[in-house]
Amino acid sequence: MAVPPGGPSGAAPARAQHLPWGTFLDRENVLGYVLVCPALLLLAVFIAYPFLLGIWFSLTDKMVGQQANFVGLQNFGRLLGDSIFLQTVRNTLVYTVSTVSLKLVMGMALALLMNQHFPFKNLVRAALLLPWIVPTALSTIAWLWIFDPTFSVANWVIVNLGLGSKINWLGNPTLAMTAIVIVNVWRGVPFFAITLLAGLQMVSQELHEAAAIDGANRVRRFWHVTVPSIRPVILLVVIFSTIWTIADFQLVYILTRGGPSNSTHLFATLAYQVALVSARLGEGAAISLYMFPFLLVSIGIVLWQIRRD
């Protein structure tokens, strides 16, 4: 006896029900835009809008609680004649160049050391990241105690070892700049070390062995084999560190607040001082936008070098 197509009851087979939006999302080009939209919305709300608002404020004489009037490039021109701003530019250049250079050298040395085989290697690598993992404000407060003129542990060591008298680390312009450089290097070296270590582990050992057979010593193998092999990694870590260093705020503000005598003011700290403390939002926005030429030049150089490689 033949069974009807629909089964014993003769009912027609049920067809799969597709929701309209389900069919719509089956298209790969549409699904891609849908998945990207939340990220684009977050970028627009938290990055694009504040950035465009800052550009508008920089072109006005906006002050807290007052109506903004368009003044064009007047804020930027006034800053070029301000001695405090010019000193801030010098401070930022000195701070950025010195810290990035020291972090690169020390990070490379640590990466080469961590690339060796020794007991508890993984534990040491994990401990190396602690300065980078600890929140900036928390670790900087600890350094503030270290540099305290009265209760400084550094001064205690100097006095008890008979090396001299107490030093006012944050009260002298030169020593204050040295202090913030030390703290930035201490915090940033782990990032360089771990990133460069990842690059070192991708270098083929066969290249080192071939160079050794050709008579190259360790120094020549480092310069002619290791460095060219990890050049893209070095460039990327340098550009990221440069961006973060130029825009540094927490570390400097907690330690010195830009003092003494504006000797440690950076773009971010001076912009905060002018915009929020002095209520001159337009001028503060102009100060913060002066960072972008330095960032664009740095990014352009590195991207050009990476593309050439």
Domain segments of the chain as ranges: 21-58, 75-308
Mean pLDDT of 129-136: 87
At 169-212, the pLDDT tens digits run 888 999 999 999 999 999 999 999 999 998 888 888 888 788 88
At 153-173, the pLDDT tens digits run 888 888 888 887 888 888 899
25: enclosing H helix or E strand: helix 20-25
User: Does residue 14 surpass a pLDDT of 50?
Assistant: no
CATH 1.10.3720.10 fits 75-308, yes or no: yes
Mean pLDDT of 90-96: 94
SS3 62: coil
Burial class (CB in 10 A: 0-12, 13-18, 19+), 287: buried
The pLDDT, as a whole number, for residue 254 is 93
According to the per-residue pLDDT averaged within each range, which of 3-7, 48-52, 268-272 is highest?
268-272
Q: Of residues 149 and 191, which shows the higher confidence score?
A: 191
- Residues 85, 270 contacting (CB under 8 angstroms): yes
pLDDT confidence band for 268 (50 / 70 / 90): very high
SS3 63: coil
User: Does residue 27 surpass a pLDDT of 70?
Assistant: no
Q: What percent of the chain has pLDDT over 70?
A: 91
The pLDDT, as a whole number, for residue 20 is 56
The pLDDT, as a whole number, for residue 266 is 93
Predicted TM-score (pTM) of the model is 0.82
The pLDDT, as a whole number, for residue 26 is 64
The pLDDT, as a whole number, for residue 16 is 46
Please report how many Cα atoms fall inside a 13 Å half-sphere around the Cα of residue 206, on the Cβ side.
0
Least confident of 62-71, 104-113, 171-180, 183-192: 62-71
SS3 81: coil
User: Does residue 4 surpass a pLDDT of 60?
Assistant: no
The pLDDT, as a whole number, for residue 148 is 86
* Residue 132 CA to its chain's centroid (Å): 11
